[in-house]
Amino acid sequence: MAIMTVDSRLSRRTVLQLFAGSAALAAGVAPAIADEERIGALILEAKRLPSVAQRVDFIAAALRGTRYRGYTLIGGPRRKEKFVARDDAFDCVTFCETVLAAAIAGEPATFEANLRTIRYHNGVVAWRERNHYFFEWGQHNVENKTCRWVAMDGSVDIQKTVTAQYGLGRRKFPMTVIPREVLLANKNQLAAGDIIGFVTQRKNLDYFHVGFIAFGGDELLLRHASQSRHRVLDESMDRFLVKNRVRYVTLLRPEEPAATSAKKA
What domains sit in the chain, N to C, each tagged with a CATH number? 12-264 (2.30.260.10)
236 - beta bridge partners? 221
Beta strands in 83-230 (DSSP E): 89-90, 147-150, 156-162, 171-179, 195-199, 207-216, 219-226
Axis-axis angle for helices 37-46, 111-119 (nearest 10) = 100
Tell me what pLDDT residue 23 has: 29
Q: Is pLDDT of 5 > 90? A: no
Tell me what pLDDT residue 168 has: 95
5-19, 22-36, 99-113 — which one is most confidently predicted on average?
99-113
* pLDDT, tens digit, 9 for 90 and up, residues 28-83: 333 334 445 899 999 999 999 999 999 999 999 999 999 999 989 999 999 999 99
pTM: 0.86
Tell me what pLDDT residue 37 has: 87
Tell me what pLDDT residue 36 has: 59
Query: Nearest to residue 136, comparing CAs of 152, 116, 118?
Result: 118
CA distance 182 to 247: 10
Contact predicate 56/50, CB 8 Å: no
Distances (CA, A) of 2 to 10, 39, 83, 127: 8, 25, 17, 12
Tell me what pLDDT residue 102 has: 98
Q: Is pLDDT of 4 > 80? A: no
Q: What average pLDDT does the segment 100-124 reach? A: 97
Half-sphere exposure of residue 128, counting CA atoms within 13 Å on the CB side? Answer: 5
Query: Nearest to residue 94, comparing CAs of 57, 65, 129, 119?
Result: 119
Query: Nearest to residue 246, comparing CAs of 165, 166, 183?
Result: 183
CA distance 65 to 60: 10
Q: Which of 11-25, 71-85, 173-187, 224-238 shows the lowest per-residue confidence on average (mean pLDDT)?
A: 11-25
* pLDDT, tens digit, 9 for 90 and up, residues 211-233: 999 999 999 999 999 999 999 99
Contact predicate 67/113, CB 8 Å: no
Sign (positive or negative) of CA dihedral 12, 128, 79, 164? negative
Contact predicate 12/132, CB 8 Å: yes
